[in-house]
């Protein structure tokens, strides 16, 4: 079965290198709209999205993110931070932020853009964590947690298509280990 959503899911890849082409405002708005429509626990919508275009801020963020994606924060014309108010949704704030981020990544892909997903959330919420350094750079108030950063732009290199496991390696029916349908 084919449709645009399934195609965007299969095509989406995390990109490390971006060219300098600006992202059109209309596409940025569409990406943010996709995030706004993400599901959340009892429709709390506990998220805020911070669109980061300022080069100095992008440079600071790239210095505190200790992954191979840190350079993508500098190169991408924009990045979007997903911050979630854990007091508004104390039970599912991480999932809410992750779903919103996934919606943005898929929307970007469907619009011909590329993204790189940087997980920032620190389960232990340590004072010196990457998450807390990002919170300070972005001036986030106390109840907010940073789930992730999403560099957005046009890829400067083509990504390869990774192999995926077959469904029969990961799908069970009725109980774990049962590979036969009833």
Distance of CA 8 to the CA centre of its chain: 15
Query: Which DSSP state fits 91?
Result: T
Compute how many other C-beta atoms are within 10 angstroms of the C-beta atom of residue 22: 12
Q: What is the pTM of this model?
A: 0.92
- Rounded-to-integer distance, Cα 118 and Cα 68, Å: 10
Query: Which of 72, 77, 87, 66 lies closest to 27 in space, CA to CA?
Result: 77
Structural domain containing residue 29: 4-169
- Pair of tokens at residue 62: 């790239």
Over 80: is that where the pLDDT of 158 sits? Answer: no
Residue 120 forms part of a structural domain: yes
Residue 179 forms part of a structural domain: no
Give the pairing of strands 114-115 and 47-52. Answer: unpaired
Domain count, the chain: 1
Residue 182 forms part of a structural domain: no
Three-point CA angle 130, 125, 96, nearest 5°: 90
Q: What digits encode the pLDDT tens for the residues 19-43?
A: 999 999 999 999 999 999 999 999 9
Residue 175 forms part of a structural domain: no
- Under a CB-based contact definition with an 8 Å cutoff, are residues 21 and 153 in contact? yes
Residue 63 forms part of a structural domain: yes
Beta strand extents in 15-166 (DSSP E only): 47-52, 78-85, 114-115, 118-119, 144-153
Residue 155 forms part of a structural domain: yes
Residue 181 forms part of a structural domain: no
Q: What digits encode the pLDDT tens for the residues 57-97?
A: 999 999 999 777 888 999 999 999 999 999 999 999 999 99
- Rounded-to-integer distance, Cα 44 and Cα 42, Å: 6
Residue 144 forms part of a structural domain: yes
- Which pLDDT belongs to residue 135? 97
- Which pLDDT belongs to residue 33? 98
CATH number at residue 53: 3.40.109.10
């Amino acid at each position: 079965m084919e449709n645009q959503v399934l195609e965007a899911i299969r095509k989406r890849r995390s990109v490390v290198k971006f060219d300098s082409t600006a992202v059109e405002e209309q596409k940025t708005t569409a990406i943010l709209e996709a995030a706004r429509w993400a599901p959340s626990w009892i429709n709390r919508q506990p998220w805020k999205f911070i669109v980061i275009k300022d080069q100095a801020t992008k440079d600071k963020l790239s210095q505190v993110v200790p992954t191979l994606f840190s350079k993508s924060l500098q190169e991408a014309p924009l990045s979007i931070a997903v911050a979630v108010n854990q007091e508004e949704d104390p039970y599912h704030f991480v999932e809410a932020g992750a779903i919103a981020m996934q919606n943005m990544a898929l929307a970007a892909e469907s619009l011909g853009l590329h993204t790189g997903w940087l997980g920032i959330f620190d389960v232990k919420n340590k004072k010196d964590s990457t998450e807390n350094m990002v919170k300070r750079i972005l001036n986030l108030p106390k109840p907010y947690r940073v789930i992730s950063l999403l560099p957005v732009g046009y890829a400067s290199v083509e990504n390869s298509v990774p192999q995926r496991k077959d469904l029969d390696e990961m799908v069970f029916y009725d109980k774990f280990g049962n590979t036969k349908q009833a």
